[in-house]
Amino acid sequence: MERREDWSQVQTLIEAAQLLIKARAVYKVCYIEEKIEDTIRIDGISLTSMVLRKNLDNVGRVFPFVVTIGSKLEEETRASIDLVQQYYLDTIGNLALLTTRNYLKDYLRSRYALDGMSYMSPGSLKDWAIENQRPLFSILGDVEASIGVRLNESLLMTPGKSLSGIYFPTEIPFYSCQLCPQKDCPSRRAVYDEKLSIEYGILK
Ligand code: SF4
């Protein structure tokens, strides 16, 4: 953000937020046992997505993961009665969460001597439905015991400031946003590519 007149307030909030953030990650090194038309099988568990399947055409090893920054910052954000402060704390939390996921990516790249890596998350595309959260969590074992993240009945994660997905090696970076036609999304990381959507078989 620009360093405007309320910058010192933001600085104070960043310092306070740092004490409330507990970044944690769980991941697993998995080998793909089977690839069929729109499904891959890992540890006997099936994940169904044409896009994921295509992204893993030439890949044998993948890294399912969940990352979180814990619940304390969220609780502090909810407890605040100042809407601007709530907005800043929420934004700080989102940035911390993305930083945590990037940290995991850099760690995996260095530990397993990989160059490029991309990820996909269940529910980010219609093609890889949110229902795939359950099998993803099953692959990772007891995620709640490991890092305190659990799935609720709507398949959303608690704490809310958590992210799940699968990292995989890629020569060319892949972003789900390339296949997502959502307009005016503030989190978009790549332009929508209709031709690519046809290549991936999710648009006729
Ligand atoms: S454009 Fe937005 S909604 Fe679509 S995949 Fe990217 S971040 Fe998600």
How many structural domains are present in the chain?
1
Beta strands in 102-201 (DSSP E): 117-120, 150-151, 157-158, 162-169
Q: What is the Cα–Cα distance from 76 to 89, expressed in whole angstroms?
A: 8
Residue type, 81: I
Token pair belonging to 164: 């799940």
Helix axes 83-111, 72-79, angle to 10 degrees: 170
pLDDT at 9 over 90: no
Q: Which residues line ligand 1 (CB under 6 A)?
A: 124, 176-177, 180, 182, 185, 187-188
- Annotate 107-134 with DSSP letters as a single string: HHHHHTT-S-EEEE-TTSBTTB-GGGHH
The minimum-distance atom of ligand 1 relative to the CA of 187 is 7
Mean pLDDT for the chain? Answer: 95
pLDDT 10s digits, 144-195: 999 999 999 999 999 999 999 999 999 999 999 999 999 999 999 999 999 9
192 in any annotated domain: no
200 in any annotated domain: no
127 in any annotated domain: yes
67 in any annotated domain: yes
197 in any annotated domain: no
The predicted pLDDT at position 3 comes to: 73
* Ligand 1 centroid, distance to 178 Cα (angstroms): 8
Arithmetic mean of pLDDT, 64-91: 96
CB-CB contact of 68 with 162 (8 Å):
yes
pLDDT at 2 over 80: no
pLDDT at 5 over 90: no
Q: How many residues does the chain have?
A: 204
95 in any annotated domain: yes
Q: Which residues of 136-162 are buried (b: 16+ CB within 10 A; e: fewer)?
A: bbebbeebeeebbbebeeeeebebebb
The predicted pLDDT at position 144 comes to: 98
Arithmetic mean of pLDDT, 125-145: 97
Token pair belonging to 111: 């530990």
Determine which residue's CA is closest to atom 6 belonging to ligand 1: 177
Q: What is the Cα–Cα distance from 29 to 42, expressed in whole angstroms?
A: 10
Q: Which helix (H) or strand (E) holds 63?
A: strand 61-68
Q: Which of 52, 175, 179, 182 to mutate to test the pocket of ligand 1 (most atoms within 8 A of CB)?
A: 182
* Ligand 1 centroid, distance to 60 Cα (angstroms): 27
90 in any annotated domain: yes
CB-CB contact of 102 with 189 (8 Å):
no
Arithmetic mean of pLDDT, 45-73: 97
pLDDT at 111 over 90: yes
Residue-number span of the structural domain to which 148 is assigned: 7-175
- pTM (2 d.p.): 0.94
CATH number at residue 51: 3.40.109.40
